Amino acid sequence: MAAPGKGSDDKAAGAAPPPAAYSAHAIHLVRTAMQVNITLSQMADQKASILMGATFVVFTISVGQASRGEFPVALLVLACSAFLSALCAVAAILPSFRPRRLPPGSENIMFFGVFTGMSEPEFTDRVLGELGSDEQVFRTMLRDIYQNGQVLQRKKYRFLGLAYRIFLAGLTVTLIIFLFESREMLMGFS
């Protein structure tokens, strides 16, 4: 038995912990999560594009009617809600390139907005540095998943939801105003 302060116990105490062991299926979980984020981002972009198309048509028709001198309150509400909804839909898909000041090593090396600011050799060295162990690879992938999820939640789906709510509220208010303005005409047909 080794004397205190000497021997294999101290070596074990000062040694680096063994690398974490992961299930052989861990990579499938991480890849699936990445693919889900990509799919959700594509869906948000498609929904925003569809909504922009619909609101631009409604806005164009409203402006066309207004240029003919016919501009009832219902049409004004419809045009304004379509315009505001289109702005929110554009905000949902508008890329953001604001450089954020992050401590070195904490930025997402997989995001093009980060690595395009580096030289190719620096980018290559940084990515290769992340490939040293399974844990480093997973951490890099998980950072990318997390940050993409933040963009989805804080920007894309927030603005997209707001755009749909504005458009739906505008349609509803337009219908109510139209019915109110047309009540005499509608009552006359009874």
Does residue 75 or residue 100 have the better pLDDT?
A: 75
Q: Evaluate if residue 189 carries a pLDDT over 80.
A: no
Q: Evaluate if residue 101 carries a pLDDT over 60.
A: yes
Cβ 79 vs Cβ 63: under 8 Å: yes
Q: Rounded mean pLDDT of 53-75?
A: 89
